[in-house]
């Protein structure tokens, strides 16, 4: 396996559609209100990809050096776990990814606010720094919040609220409170992906002291939690559509919940953690499909 292939696998490109879902929803809402800007959209997507790659590298590093990624883990082997990338090289990759992402983020902020909105510029610079810190601190360090069960909260905040509402604000320079509804939807679907990952890794996480929500509440309640997350995401999207109804096309997003319902049935009836691994990809792609259909419905 070539060095480039190793790093591409470590970057976990399959996680990128999920991370872009909030950007897509926020951008489509902006387009439906006539404030869309292609440059802002491209830079926002590139910035989000950067944050996600940093998070993936940091997660690989944090779980690798702590021994959380071990032979008990159900999912695919990670880079540090398999030994194809060393800790020092991964730390360097995190640093380089961080620098590149910061440069792109500054470009995004300048493209949106220029020199006319200095207060907004400062706020978004601080928000960008917070995103990088959150991406790294999920598993890295003695006080990694992912090991204390706070990962769900941070995923909801950054993949949902910050991603959707923050993206829309970059275009419009203001915020309609109803936009929090689809932000809740994307956030809850994203937490659903994390919850599914933690259900899959419950036993290995428990042995290594990673106290995720699933470890704390157990598999049975984790399945109920999973149902409420995905059902809630549907209801918030439906509520936004009803409040802002203009066309029947706005209900296109319901099609994305057909595979999600099938996914829920698989998870609810599951007794084997290995069955959950392919469901991660299905739910992540269903979230991406939701973002696309929800957005298309707004602009048709």
Is the torsion defined by CA of 7, 13, 15, 21 positive or negative? positive
- Which residue is associated with the tokens 């380089």? 96
Using a 10 angstrom Cβ sphere, with 0-12 exposed, 13-18 middle and 19 or more buried, the burial of residue 275 is middle
Take residue 235 and report the two structure tokens written for it: 């209801």
Residue range 128-161, pLDDT digits in tens? 999 999 989 988 887 889 888 899 999 999 999 9
Residue 62 pLDDT: 81
235 C-beta neighbours (distance < 10 Å), count:
13
Question: Does residue 134 contact residue 51 with C-beta atoms inside 8 Å?
Answer: no
Q: Which of 275, 57, 61, 285 minimizes the C-alpha distance to 193?
A: 285
Q: Which residues of 161-197 are buried (b: 16+ CB within 10 A; e: fewer)?
A: bbbbbbbbbbbbeeeeeebbbbbbbbbbbbbbbbbbb
d(CA 274, CA 185): 27
Identify which has the larger pLDDT, 168 or 87. 168
Residue range 219-254, pLDDT digits in tens? 889 999 999 999 999 999 999 999 999 999 999 999
d(CA 105, CA 127): 10
Residue 70 pLDDT: 63
Task: Record the pTM.
Answer: 0.94
Take residue 164 and report the two structure tokens written for it: 């959707």
How many residues can be counted in the chain?
A: 300
């Amino acid at each position: 396996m070539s060095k480039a292939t190793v790093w591409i696998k470590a970057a976990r490109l399959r996680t990128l559609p999920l991370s872009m879902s909030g950007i897509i929803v926020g951008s489509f809402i902006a387009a439906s209100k006539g404030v869309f800007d292609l440059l802002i959209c491209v830079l926002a997507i590139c910035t989000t990809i950067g944050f996600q790659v940093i998070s993936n590298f940091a997660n690989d590093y944090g779980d690798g050096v702590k021994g959380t990624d071990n032979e008990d883990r159900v999912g695919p082997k990670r880079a540090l776990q398999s030994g194809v990338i060393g800790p020092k090289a991964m730390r360097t990759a995190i640093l380089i990814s961080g620098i590149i992402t910061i440069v792109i983020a500054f470009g995004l902020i300048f493209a949106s606010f220029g020199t006319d909105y200095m207060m907004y510029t400062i706020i978004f610079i601080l928000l960008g720094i917070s995103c990088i810190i959150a991406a790294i601190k999920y598993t890295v360090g003695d006080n990694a919040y992912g090991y204390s069960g706070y990962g769900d909260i941070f995923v909801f905040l950054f993949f949902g609220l910050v991603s959707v509402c923050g993206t829309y604000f970059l275009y419009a320079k203001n915020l309609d409170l109803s936009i929090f509804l689809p932000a809740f939807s994307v956030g809850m679907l994203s937490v659903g992906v994390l919850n599914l990952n933690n259900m899959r890794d419950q036993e290995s996480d428990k042995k290594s002291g990673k106290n995720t929500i699933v470890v704390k509440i157990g598999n049975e309640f984790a399945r109920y939690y999973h149902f409420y997350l995905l059902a809630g995401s549907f209801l918030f999207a439906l509520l936004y559509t009803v409040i802002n109804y203009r066309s029947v096309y706005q209900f296109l997003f319901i099609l994305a919940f057909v595979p999600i319902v099938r996914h829920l049935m698989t998870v609810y009836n599951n007794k084997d953690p290995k069955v959950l691994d392919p469901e991660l990809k299905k739910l992540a792609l269903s979230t991406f499909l939701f973002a696309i259909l929800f957005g298309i419905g707004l602009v048709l």
